Structure 1
């Protein structure tokens, strides 16, 4: 059992091999817009599934559709397992590494406070949690990828020269359209 299992909001460290590789990008803006509309219509109440933030009707842009994914290193596949409706602040934590690169000091302070409020923890617990993730990071995962995919060099993995494919599992809105689009682009992977 992880010391931080009780946290509702967590940092989601995506493996390096799969950085910037999402179904959202693969299917394009138009189809993703339709998916977002379906998720917003089918989510009752229309609120963040993590912190409960509920925007006014004119503020729904502050809710994002977040992809829940699993990663298959052997076949280099991102498997979309579910979609969550989460607020912009919770979403920033899911992509914390990227957020740290782009956000101002003031925004980072606001985000840390959001984390503390949602998880009912202290700033020290936040820092301890954040540091614990650094030691769980990818060097061992990258070695694992190299070992499983011996035809790939470390540079291929590091610089994203691997063809990432996508699988779709679970009850995803417009699932058949997504699969069709991925097949058209030659990036769909079907598990037997």
Structure 2
């Protein structure tokens, strides 16, 4: 990292879009863009966005530590393209056996925010699969099942949530997130921005590594491990084995 880059990191630490975009800062912004080799073209706001994106990409790992304590975190579905244990077994086993057992275990309450719907509204409670992926071996390991409400679940699939909700619905979901975590909306926005840097960098790295190894394939077969004592585990394993999708621990 050059000396100019270090100076710029310190300067941008206290800046935001509004402060950088103020009238009279055009020459200053062009200088900063020159320091780090990014485009100087466009409006002051466009230059400010590029500078802050550069700042985020160089500081996100350390700044994300601020949000490690959050009760409700944000995630995205990582690279197995929707291939899960739930999607690989019969819906009867999942809906009629496993789901009722998890509902009872968590006493019909969201394990994150404590939401307890009326009996007729229990469809708002979802059984979420906690998974870990081994991309080298194309293995998805099921490490647990938790009961969470639809609002909390939305943040485990954030990109999808933005694509299928209206602006008003997403605004209410964000309010839910800030209430559960007792943070301000500005902190939510920063958290999402930093996560986007992390996801972008890790996704590019993962895909590049697989392409270099010569086996990146969106239609690859994913096999499963189960390291958690889920309800009806023997039946689940039996069904997965029948399809050749189960790997012994």
TM-score (norm 2): 0.70
2:69: which partner in 1?
6
Structure of higher RCO (CA pairs closer than 8 Å, 6+ residues apart): 1
Measured in 2, the distance between the counterparts of 1:183 and 1:103 equals 38
Give 1:18's aligned residue: 80
Identify the match of residue 41 of structure 1 among 104, 125, 131. Answer: 104
Provide the alpha-carbon RMSD of the alignment: 1.5
From 208, 220, 223, give the equivalent of 1:165.
223
* 4+ residue segments displaced more than 2 Å: 141-147
**In the TM superposition, what is the alpha-carbon distance from 1:146 to its structure 2 partner?**
4.0
Q: Distance in 2 between matches of 1:80 and 1:92?
A: 20
**Structure with more of its chain in helix, by fraction:** 2
Offset of residue 74 of structure 1: 1.5
Structure 2 Cα separation of the partners of residues 13 and 98 of structure 1: 9
Match of 1:90 among 149, 152, 167: 152
Q: How many residues align?
A: 182
Structure 2 gap segments, 5+ residues each: 1-61
* Structure whose CA Rg is larger: 2
Looking at structure 1, the residues matched to 72 and 209 of structure 2 have their Cα atoms a distance apart, in angstroms, of 28
- Measure the CA separation in 2 of the matches of 1:144 and 1:134: 20
Query: What residue in structure 2 maps to residue 141 of structure 1?
Result: 206
Once the two structures are superposed, what CA deviation does each residue of 1:71-129 show, in whole Å capped at 9, x if it has no partner? 11111011100000000000111111111111111211111011010011111000000
Shift of 1:145: 3.9
Gaps of 5+ in 1: none
Q: Secondary structure at the match of 2:155?
A: helix
Which stretch of the first structure deviates more once superposed, 115-124 or 181-190?
A: 181-190
Corresponding residue for 1:69? 131
Q: State TM-score, norm by structure 1.
A: 0.89
